[in-house]
Amino acid sequence: MFYLFLLSLLLPVYTITGYDASAHTSEETKDASTSVPRAMVSSVIWSSLAGWVMLCAIVLAIPDLAAGAKQGWAVFFETMNAILPGWFKTLLYLAILIAQLLCGLATVTSASRMLFAFSRDGGMPVGSAALATVSKTYRTPVNAIWTSAALCIVYVFLAQFLSVGGTNIYTIVVNSTLVFLFLSFTIPIALGMLTFETEKWPKAGPWNLGAGLYKLVSALAIIGMAIIAYIAVQPPNDRVLWIVIGMLVLAGVLWFAAENRRFKGPPIGEEIKRRQAEIAKKEAAFGEA
Protein backbone atom coordinates (compact mmCIF):
# COMPACT_ATOMS: atom_id res chain seq x y z
CA MET A 1 0.00 0.00 0.00
CA PHE A 2 2.87 2.38 0.82
CA TYR A 3 4.45 1.65 -2.57
CA LEU A 4 1.15 2.40 -4.32
CA PHE A 5 0.91 5.63 -2.35
CA LEU A 6 4.37 6.64 -3.57
CA LEU A 7 3.43 5.81 -7.18
CA SER A 8 0.31 7.95 -6.84
CA LEU A 9 2.52 10.93 -5.99
CA LEU A 10 3.71 10.99 -9.61
CA LEU A 11 0.41 12.45 -10.84
CA PRO A 12 0.58 15.67 -8.78
CA VAL A 13 4.36 15.83 -9.28
CA TYR A 14 3.79 16.00 -13.05
CA THR A 15 2.08 19.35 -12.50
CA ILE A 16 4.76 20.82 -10.21
CA THR A 17 6.74 22.21 -13.12
CA GLY A 18 6.97 25.53 -14.85
CA TYR A 19 7.50 27.67 -11.75
CA ASP A 20 11.15 28.01 -12.79
CA ALA A 21 10.20 29.41 -16.21
CA SER A 22 10.50 32.95 -14.87
CA ALA A 23 14.14 32.23 -14.00
CA HIS A 24 14.89 31.27 -17.60
CA THR A 25 13.58 34.61 -18.83
CA SER A 26 15.25 36.64 -16.06
CA GLU A 27 17.47 38.44 -18.57
CA GLU A 28 14.29 39.82 -20.13
CA THR A 29 12.75 40.85 -16.77
CA LYS A 30 12.91 44.11 -14.83
CA ASP A 31 14.23 43.91 -11.23
CA ALA A 32 15.00 40.23 -11.80
CA SER A 33 16.73 39.71 -8.44
CA THR A 34 13.40 40.18 -6.63
CA SER A 35 10.65 39.79 -9.23
CA VAL A 36 11.85 36.39 -10.49
CA PRO A 37 11.95 34.58 -7.11
CA ARG A 38 8.68 36.25 -6.12
CA ALA A 39 7.07 34.93 -9.33
CA MET A 40 8.43 31.42 -8.67
CA VAL A 41 7.02 31.33 -5.14
CA SER A 42 3.66 32.86 -6.07
CA SER A 43 3.23 30.46 -9.00
CA VAL A 44 3.61 27.49 -6.65
CA ILE A 45 1.12 28.96 -4.16
CA TRP A 46 -1.58 29.83 -6.69
CA SER A 47 -1.14 26.60 -8.67
CA SER A 48 -1.38 24.57 -5.46
CA LEU A 49 -4.60 26.28 -4.42
CA ALA A 50 -6.21 25.97 -7.86
CA GLY A 51 -5.09 22.35 -8.23
CA TRP A 52 -6.33 21.44 -4.75
CA VAL A 53 -9.78 22.90 -5.47
CA MET A 54 -9.99 21.09 -8.80
CA LEU A 55 -8.90 17.73 -7.37
CA CYS A 56 -11.34 18.05 -4.48
CA ALA A 57 -14.15 18.86 -6.91
CA ILE A 58 -13.34 15.84 -9.10
CA VAL A 59 -13.09 13.42 -6.17
CA LEU A 60 -16.38 14.65 -4.72
CA ALA A 61 -18.04 14.35 -8.13
CA ILE A 62 -17.13 10.67 -8.69
CA PRO A 63 -20.47 8.82 -8.53
CA ASP A 64 -18.97 5.57 -7.19
CA LEU A 65 -15.50 5.60 -5.64
CA ALA A 66 -15.07 1.83 -5.88
CA ALA A 67 -16.01 1.82 -9.57
CA GLY A 68 -13.84 4.90 -10.13
CA ALA A 69 -10.80 3.16 -8.63
CA LYS A 70 -11.22 0.30 -11.11
CA GLN A 71 -11.28 2.74 -14.03
CA GLY A 72 -7.73 3.94 -13.35
CA TRP A 73 -6.59 6.74 -15.67
CA ALA A 74 -10.06 6.92 -17.24
CA VAL A 75 -11.82 7.95 -14.01
CA PHE A 76 -11.68 11.66 -14.84
CA PHE A 77 -13.31 11.23 -18.26
CA GLU A 78 -15.90 8.75 -16.99
CA THR A 79 -16.82 11.17 -14.20
CA MET A 80 -17.21 14.01 -16.68
CA ASN A 81 -19.46 11.79 -18.84
CA ALA A 82 -21.61 10.93 -15.83
CA ILE A 83 -22.19 14.38 -14.34
CA LEU A 84 -21.87 17.02 -17.06
CA PRO A 85 -24.02 17.91 -20.08
CA GLY A 86 -22.30 17.41 -23.42
CA TRP A 87 -21.82 21.11 -24.28
CA PHE A 88 -20.27 21.96 -20.91
CA LYS A 89 -17.98 18.92 -21.03
CA THR A 90 -16.72 20.00 -24.45
CA LEU A 91 -16.11 23.52 -23.16
CA LEU A 92 -14.15 22.14 -20.21
CA TYR A 93 -12.03 19.93 -22.47
CA LEU A 94 -11.30 22.94 -24.67
CA ALA A 95 -10.10 24.90 -21.64
CA ILE A 96 -7.87 21.96 -20.64
CA LEU A 97 -6.47 21.82 -24.20
CA ILE A 98 -5.58 25.52 -24.08
CA ALA A 99 -3.97 25.10 -20.65
CA GLN A 100 -1.89 22.16 -21.91
CA LEU A 101 -0.83 24.15 -24.97
CA LEU A 102 0.31 27.03 -22.77
CA CYS A 103 2.25 24.60 -20.58
CA GLY A 104 3.97 23.24 -23.68
CA LEU A 105 4.85 26.75 -24.83
CA ALA A 106 6.28 27.52 -21.38
CA THR A 107 8.41 24.38 -21.60
CA VAL A 108 9.79 25.39 -24.98
CA THR A 109 10.43 28.89 -23.64
CA SER A 110 12.41 27.53 -20.69
CA ALA A 111 14.40 25.09 -22.82
CA SER A 112 15.20 27.69 -25.49
CA ARG A 113 16.40 30.26 -22.95
CA MET A 114 18.67 27.67 -21.31
CA LEU A 115 20.04 26.69 -24.72
CA PHE A 116 20.59 30.36 -25.54
CA ALA A 117 22.35 31.02 -22.23
CA PHE A 118 24.69 28.04 -22.63
CA SER A 119 25.44 29.08 -26.21
CA ARG A 120 26.12 32.68 -25.19
CA ASP A 121 28.73 31.41 -22.73
CA GLY A 122 30.23 29.03 -25.30
CA GLY A 123 28.86 25.99 -23.51
CA MET A 124 27.48 24.10 -26.52
CA PRO A 125 29.80 21.66 -28.32
CA VAL A 126 28.72 23.03 -31.73
CA GLY A 127 26.71 25.95 -33.05
CA SER A 128 27.09 28.33 -30.11
CA ALA A 129 27.37 31.41 -32.34
CA ALA A 130 24.15 30.63 -34.22
CA LEU A 131 22.20 29.60 -31.12
CA ALA A 132 23.32 32.71 -29.19
CA THR A 133 21.98 35.02 -31.90
CA VAL A 134 19.06 37.28 -30.94
CA SER A 135 16.64 38.24 -33.70
CA LYS A 136 16.61 41.99 -34.30
CA THR A 137 13.03 41.71 -35.53
CA TYR A 138 11.51 39.62 -32.72
CA ARG A 139 14.12 40.42 -30.02
CA THR A 140 14.18 36.76 -29.00
CA PRO A 141 16.67 33.90 -29.62
CA VAL A 142 14.77 32.49 -32.61
CA ASN A 143 17.42 29.88 -33.52
CA ALA A 144 17.47 28.53 -29.97
CA ILE A 145 13.67 28.38 -29.88
CA TRP A 146 13.32 26.35 -33.08
CA THR A 147 16.22 24.09 -32.14
CA SER A 148 14.65 23.36 -28.75
CA ALA A 149 11.30 22.58 -30.37
CA ALA A 150 12.96 20.23 -32.87
CA LEU A 151 14.90 18.42 -30.13
CA CYS A 152 11.65 17.91 -28.19
CA ILE A 153 10.09 16.21 -31.22
CA VAL A 154 13.17 13.99 -31.67
CA TYR A 155 12.97 13.02 -28.00
CA VAL A 156 9.32 11.98 -28.37
CA PHE A 157 10.18 9.75 -31.33
CA LEU A 158 12.97 8.17 -29.26
CA ALA A 159 10.46 7.51 -26.48
CA GLN A 160 8.08 5.98 -29.03
CA PHE A 161 10.82 3.53 -30.04
CA LEU A 162 11.46 2.55 -26.42
CA SER A 163 7.76 2.19 -25.62
CA VAL A 164 7.21 -0.71 -28.05
CA GLY A 165 5.94 -3.70 -26.09
CA GLY A 166 6.32 -2.05 -22.69
CA THR A 167 5.84 1.23 -20.85
CA ASN A 168 3.58 3.62 -22.77
CA ILE A 169 5.08 6.64 -24.54
CA TYR A 170 3.36 9.18 -22.29
CA THR A 171 4.90 7.68 -19.16
CA ILE A 172 8.37 7.45 -20.72
CA VAL A 173 8.37 11.08 -21.86
CA VAL A 174 6.89 12.54 -18.69
CA ASN A 175 8.81 10.42 -16.17
CA SER A 176 12.21 10.74 -17.87
CA THR A 177 11.90 14.50 -18.28
CA LEU A 178 10.70 14.67 -14.68
CA VAL A 179 13.88 12.94 -13.50
CA PHE A 180 16.12 15.21 -15.59
CA LEU A 181 14.25 18.32 -14.49
CA PHE A 182 14.56 17.52 -10.80
CA LEU A 183 18.18 16.44 -11.26
CA SER A 184 18.89 19.86 -12.78
CA PHE A 185 17.45 21.39 -9.59
CA THR A 186 19.17 19.03 -7.17
CA ILE A 187 22.73 19.66 -8.38
CA PRO A 188 22.79 23.47 -7.87
CA ILE A 189 20.81 23.19 -4.62
CA ALA A 190 23.32 20.70 -3.20
CA LEU A 191 26.29 22.78 -4.36
CA GLY A 192 24.64 25.89 -2.92
CA MET A 193 24.37 24.24 0.48
CA LEU A 194 28.09 23.50 0.41
CA THR A 195 29.21 26.95 -0.73
CA PHE A 196 26.73 29.26 1.05
CA GLU A 197 28.46 31.70 3.42
CA THR A 198 31.87 30.71 2.05
CA GLU A 199 34.28 32.63 -0.15
CA LYS A 200 32.50 31.38 -3.27
CA TRP A 201 29.07 32.57 -2.09
CA PRO A 202 29.54 34.89 0.89
CA LYS A 203 26.18 36.71 0.73
CA ALA A 204 22.67 35.83 -0.39
CA GLY A 205 20.69 37.94 -2.83
CA PRO A 206 17.94 40.39 -1.82
CA TRP A 207 15.34 37.58 -1.77
CA ASN A 208 16.46 34.92 0.73
CA LEU A 209 15.32 32.73 3.62
CA GLY A 210 18.28 33.29 5.89
CA ALA A 211 21.13 30.81 6.35
CA GLY A 212 19.41 28.39 8.74
CA LEU A 213 16.07 28.08 6.99
CA TYR A 214 17.75 28.02 3.57
CA LYS A 215 19.84 24.97 4.43
CA LEU A 216 16.86 23.17 5.99
CA VAL A 217 14.63 23.77 2.97
CA SER A 218 17.48 22.77 0.64
CA ALA A 219 18.04 19.48 2.50
CA LEU A 220 14.31 18.66 2.39
CA ALA A 221 14.19 19.53 -1.32
CA ILE A 222 17.10 17.18 -2.08
CA ILE A 223 15.49 14.33 -0.13
CA GLY A 224 12.15 14.91 -1.83
CA MET A 225 13.67 14.98 -5.30
CA ALA A 226 15.62 11.77 -4.63
CA ILE A 227 12.38 10.02 -3.62
CA ILE A 228 10.59 11.30 -6.72
CA ALA A 229 13.42 10.18 -9.02
CA TYR A 230 13.31 6.73 -7.42
CA ILE A 231 9.55 6.44 -7.87
CA ALA A 232 9.67 7.60 -11.49
CA VAL A 233 11.79 4.63 -12.65
CA GLN A 234 10.07 1.85 -10.68
CA PRO A 235 7.78 -0.79 -12.27
CA PRO A 236 5.58 -0.37 -14.23
CA ASN A 237 7.77 2.55 -15.38
CA ASP A 238 11.04 0.60 -15.37
CA ARG A 239 11.89 1.40 -19.01
CA VAL A 240 12.31 5.01 -17.96
CA LEU A 241 15.41 3.92 -16.03
CA TRP A 242 17.15 2.84 -19.23
CA ILE A 243 16.61 6.12 -21.03
CA VAL A 244 17.81 8.02 -17.95
CA ILE A 245 20.95 5.87 -17.71
CA GLY A 246 21.54 6.18 -21.47
CA MET A 247 21.34 9.97 -21.42
CA LEU A 248 23.59 10.23 -18.36
CA VAL A 249 26.18 7.93 -19.97
CA LEU A 250 26.07 9.96 -23.20
CA ALA A 251 26.51 13.21 -21.27
CA GLY A 252 29.39 11.71 -19.26
CA VAL A 253 31.20 10.48 -22.37
CA LEU A 254 30.87 13.88 -24.07
CA TRP A 255 32.09 15.68 -20.96
CA PHE A 256 35.13 13.57 -20.15
CA ALA A 257 36.10 12.98 -23.80
CA ALA A 258 36.15 16.62 -24.87
CA GLU A 259 33.99 19.21 -23.14
CA ASN A 260 35.78 19.34 -19.77
CA ARG A 261 38.89 20.54 -21.60
CA ARG A 262 37.12 22.94 -23.96
CA PHE A 263 34.54 24.55 -21.66
CA LYS A 264 35.81 25.96 -18.38
CA GLY A 265 32.53 27.49 -17.22
CA PRO A 266 30.69 30.78 -17.75
CA PRO A 267 32.94 33.82 -18.30
CA ILE A 268 33.65 36.11 -15.33
CA GLY A 269 35.25 39.56 -14.95
CA GLU A 270 37.16 40.78 -17.98
CA GLU A 271 36.42 37.50 -19.73
CA ILE A 272 32.78 38.57 -19.98
CA LYS A 273 33.69 41.62 -22.05
CA ARG A 274 35.96 39.55 -24.26
CA ARG A 275 33.25 36.93 -24.71
CA GLN A 276 30.64 39.58 -25.54
CA ALA A 277 32.93 41.03 -28.19
CA GLU A 278 33.42 37.54 -29.68
CA ILE A 279 29.68 36.91 -29.78
CA ALA A 280 29.00 40.28 -31.41
CA LYS A 281 31.62 39.50 -34.06
CA LYS A 282 30.21 36.00 -34.67
CA GLU A 283 26.64 37.36 -34.77
CA ALA A 284 27.67 39.84 -37.46
CA ALA A 285 29.36 37.09 -39.47
CA PHE A 286 26.38 34.76 -39.02
CA GLY A 287 23.98 37.49 -40.07
CA GLU A 288 25.95 38.16 -43.22
CA ALA A 289 26.02 34.43 -44.01
Nearest to 11 by CA among 43, 46, 81, 58: 58
- The number of domains in the chain is 1
Q: What is the per-residue pLDDT across 210-267, written as a single tens digit (0 to 9) for each?
A: 888 888 999 999 998 898 888 888 887 888 888 888 889 998 998 898 888 888 777 7
Going by pLDDT thresholds of 50, 70 and 90, the confidence category of residue 163 is: low
SS3 164: coil
In this prediction, what percent of the chain has a pLDDT beyond 90? 18
pLDDT(144) > 90: yes
**CA–centroid distance for 190 within its chain:** 18
Going by pLDDT thresholds of 50, 70 and 90, the confidence category of residue 89 is: very high
Does any domain span residue 213? no
Does any domain span residue 44? yes
285: CB partners within 8 A, 6+ apart: 129
Signed CA dihedral, 181, 28, 280, 284: sign only: positive
Q: What is the per-residue pLDDT across 67-80, written as a single tens digit (0 to 9) for each?
A: 888 888 789 899 99
Does any domain span residue 55? yes
Nearest to 236 by CA among 160, 170, 181: 170
pLDDT given at position 62: 92
Does any domain span residue 227? no
Does any domain span residue 48? yes
What DSSP string describes 16-47? S-STTHHHHTGGGSTTHHHHHHHHHHHHHHHH
Count CB neighbours of 88 within 10 A.
11
What residue numbers bound the domain in which 24 lies? 1-83
Does any domain span residue 19? yes
Distance, CA of 274 to CA of 272 (rounded, Å): 5
